[in-house]
Chains A and B, each alone.
Chain A
Amino acid sequence: MLSLLIILPLIGIFCLLLVPEEKDTIIKQIALFFSSLTFLFSLFLWVLFDCSTSKFQFIEYFSWLSMFNIQFFLGIDGISLFFVILSTFLVFICVLSSWLSIKKHLKQYYICFLLMNSFLIVVFSVLDIVIFYIFFESILIPMFLIIGVWGSRTRKLKAAYQFFLYTLIGSLFMLLAIFLIFFETGTTDFQILNTIAFSKEKEIFLWLAFFLSFSVKVPMVPVHIWLPEAHVEAPTAGSVILAGILLKMGTYGLLRYSISLFPCASIYFTPLIYSMSVIAVIYTSLTTLRQIDLKKIIAYSSVAHMAFVTIGIFTFNVYGIEGSMLIMLSHGFVSSALFLCIGVLYDRHHTRLIKYYSGLAQVMPIYSFFFVSFSMANLGFPGSSSFVGEFLTLVGSFQSNTIVAFLASTGMVTGAGYSLWLCNRVLFGSLSSQYIVQFKDINRREFAVLLPLLVCTLWMGVYPELFLEPMHLSISNLLQKT
């Protein structure tokens, strides 16, 4: 089942390759068809998922590099289930959202997205660390091309380089650590490694090497520089996929590999994570206030939210980790939706500077409705998905470290500050007609893109148990090791 899910986008790529470049509509339709098919197919995973076990399900096995005892082992549990669905969902949204805004090299663009779709599914479902590493790295290539080719300004070169090299330098150390693990144990199978304990010193070294790679991807604060650059320069759909799912690869890696393979080192380094995350929450929330670029605001707020996630993961209790899982999912919906909202403005007026926008609520009422709702969700308003996640995370961190919980909760206040101020500046006030003359509210396609995201956000805020149910056992199983 999982392998079929991986192959579906690849079939889509094959079909796209057969279509001549100038037939735009057919290319778009094929990409949409295959991405929606993949999404619908991935929903079956959720339906068929057995919540009463913490074992890996839908297991598939292919012999790959048997000489080094590396096998292609696929399987998902409650943690990875939602990431698989989120990635297929967001690729579908991306394909739909870039319907008109992308005009050059359409074919290659959609090939990049479909390629990323199957790579992401492999990353979240593979149970072998070498193959995880290979696909974790491979995603750099399509994303590098998306930022570089379809980005908007000349600064995109710097952004693309930063994105590529930051991630590469981090993850090569992970490769080193994987080799060390292989020489220590003779296997790279995650399930077998899960039963092996390393010596304390080795565990600390390995944890650091893994952390270097994941912290760049999350991104934690000292290495977050690439993220705002990459977000600002990438096309809208690129930002959506970057914020929505690529950042989650880092936190997923921390949750799945760092904690379960090196539990002692994870506890040993908890103060480090806490201090880095708290600095991230406070610093990025404050620095968001002084940004003038719409996308940069959302990018910095993503850093703050991801810092919440890392705090939640390292609380080592059920509340914290389930909360962080919920924040990851809700951030996947909310920040993607906000990037899409900004994309709507950018498509119409080709600028992202806040200065030029004001009073949009008078002329774009539906748009303003979406923008306000997602901004509210971004600041963690009760009833939205972020509230549940942030609440659970703060409860969890209150149990393990009160000061951290206190400091992190200041992030919610500043979060409210920048989100409301952003809404205020863009949507309300008088209409600034000296810069922009024509206004058009969102059309049906954009509505269709934003509505499912809003539904998901509200649904998760009102009835989160549906999302939490498959996670419970997997997370408590994870916690038993620590």
Chain B
Amino acid sequence: MNFLFLNNEWLAILPELFLVISINFILLYAVIYSTSPFFNFPLLINNISWLTVLLLILAFYLTINNNYLNITIFNNLLVIDLFGNFIKSFILLSTASVLIMSLTYNKFDRVNSFEFPVLIILTILGTLLLISSYDLISMYLAIELQSFCSYILSSFKRNSEFSAESGLKYFILGAFSSGFLLFGCSLIYGFTGATNYELISLLLVNSDYNSLDNSGIIVGIVFILVSFLFKLSAAPFHLWSPDVYEGSPTSVTAFFAIVPKLGLLVFFFRLFFDSFYVFLPSLQYLLIICSITSMLIGSFGAIWQIKIKRLLAFSAISHVGYMLIALCSCSIESIYAVIFYAIIYIFMSISSFCLLISIRKNSDLKKIKYIEDLTLVSKVNPFIGICFAITFFSIAGVPPFAGFFSKMFLFFSAISQSLYLLTFVGILTSVVSCFYYLRIIQITYFEQTSIWISLKKITKEISLLIGSMLLFLTLFFLHPTLLIVLIHNSILSLCM
């Protein structure tokens, strides 16, 4: 007889299980202590943040040591494979770095409620489950867990109007997209009678996408696709993202920029490359249009921005456009290129948001809001100047930084599928976007000003984080094979 916890199915999702249980313990601990008059109502945010970082690192350890591979569990609700574990471990580590950089933000912007790290862990839980999900129902539930926590997070700074506005906008529009997703799922269930990815793929494998019988399925797929593109903030569905990026507390913006994309991409691969592969050729045009519009809107929209968070939001939109280039080409190289791109993008975003959060003027301890505030940072603090330059050169895709290689592999995969138009637009927009990344470098380096700012010292943790990211970005080109082989091996497991 199998004892409950010795059952393989429970052991296979041990990381998620561990997170759930420890979240409960942390909540219990925080609620009891923060309301205790005996301890004089202590502020637990710092303590809890570090505890959650520890938690994430333990979960990371559990994930990379997960020996249950290539199995489906709980009546085919979830799938555990090497690819998922690889992405999960990346997500856990990047969330840990977001939490580390939020420490400074919480300290200076007086975010004192201990729920912040807990909510972030809950969002991560949703993302981890989304990566593993192998069924429309579990997928929907995971996405909802992730989105709801995100809505709360974006309106987390209760005393700020911007934050409340962004939370409300995000919630209303996100609820729409969830509705689309659910409608799409139910259409597919109605037309196939199945919710499991594998069953759907078996049912659809011989179907003809031009026949009328399948029109309901196609509508359902398009609904799901729209919701996916919304969550990814691709172009015709991008309108929420600049407002949410701007309004949310910066640590949350960093979280939105860094973490959810990878999970959503894995969801796309699992659903579309597995179940709906037959329909992908007809969807390709939709993706191509989305990709071109996101690249154009992302790069041209950012030129006129004066607030740095809005600029980063538009840059995120254009980066999503680049990722969609590879999604259009639907081949193994494209999966590989997208995952590579997303990982390098995570590295670059961590470094750029670390810089953004940590630069504070000594006079009023306010963080940087407008791009103009960065004027001559390089003179006051040359190392931060160099960090800015390297990060933004890398985001712009200038060799020899890692950002160039991610773009190179993307165009590579696009050309291998003869998507010349996309590549052409991609190249032109990357020149345009280069322009505004250069503007940031120009402002940090070349501008003349009469007002000198003195900057607060960066904390040790954040400087370590920035340093390691920059080392990765600059030295990547010396030995690129390491990361590439890692990604390649994990993707091979997806194909099996």
Contacts and interface: CB of A to CB of B under 8 A. Distances in A.
A151 B400 CA distance: 24
Interface string B401-413: 0001000100110
Contact of B446 (A141, A149, A173): A149
B488 interface: yes
Given A67-B481, A157-B446, A161-B435, A183 B416 contact: yes
A138 B403 CA distance: 12
A148 B399 contact: no
B427 A173 contact: yes
A165 interface: yes
A42 to B, nearest CB: 22
A180 B424 CA distance: 13
Interface in B399-442: 399-400, 404, 408, 411-412, 415-416, 423-424, 427-428, 430-431, 434-435, 438, 442
B382 A161 contact: no
A138 B399 contact: yes
B60 interface: no
Nearest to A136: B399
A141 B398 contact: yes
Contacts, number: 78
Given A149-B445, A154-B448, A169-B431, A175 B408 contact: yes
Contact of B435 (A165, A172, A180): A165
B292 to A, nearest CB: 17
Contacts of B404: 134, 137
A164 interface: yes
A157 B442 contact: yes
Nearest to B424: A176
A176 B428 CA distance: 12
B485 A138 contact: no
Given A66-B481, A67-B485, A176-B411, A168 B446 contact: no
A289 interface: no
B374 to A, nearest CB: 15
Contacts of B428: 169
Contacts of B427: 172-173, 175-176
Interface residues of B, number: 31
Interface in B61-99: none
Interface residues of A, number: 36
Nearest to B434: A168
A43 interface: no
Contacts of A133: 399
Top 8 closest pairs, chain A to chain B, by CB: A134-B399, A148-B446, A172-B427, A137-B399, A179-B415, A169-B431, A138-B400, A138-B399
Given A67-B485, A176-B411, 4 more contacts: A67-B484, A134-B404, A137-B399, A176-B424
Interface of A: 21, 64-67, 105, 108, 133-135, 137-138, 140-141, 144-145, 148-149, 151, 154, 156-157, 160-161, 164-165, 168-169, 172-173, 175-176, 179-180, 182-183
27 contacts: A21-B382, A67-B484, A67-B488, A108-B382, A133-B399, A134-B400, A135-B399, A137-B398, A137-B399, A138-B400, A144-B438, A145-B389, A148-B446, A149-B445, A151-B446, A154-B448, A160-B442, A161-B438, A164-B434, A165-B435, A168-B398, A172-B427, A175-B411, A176-B411, A176-B423, A176-B424, A182-B412
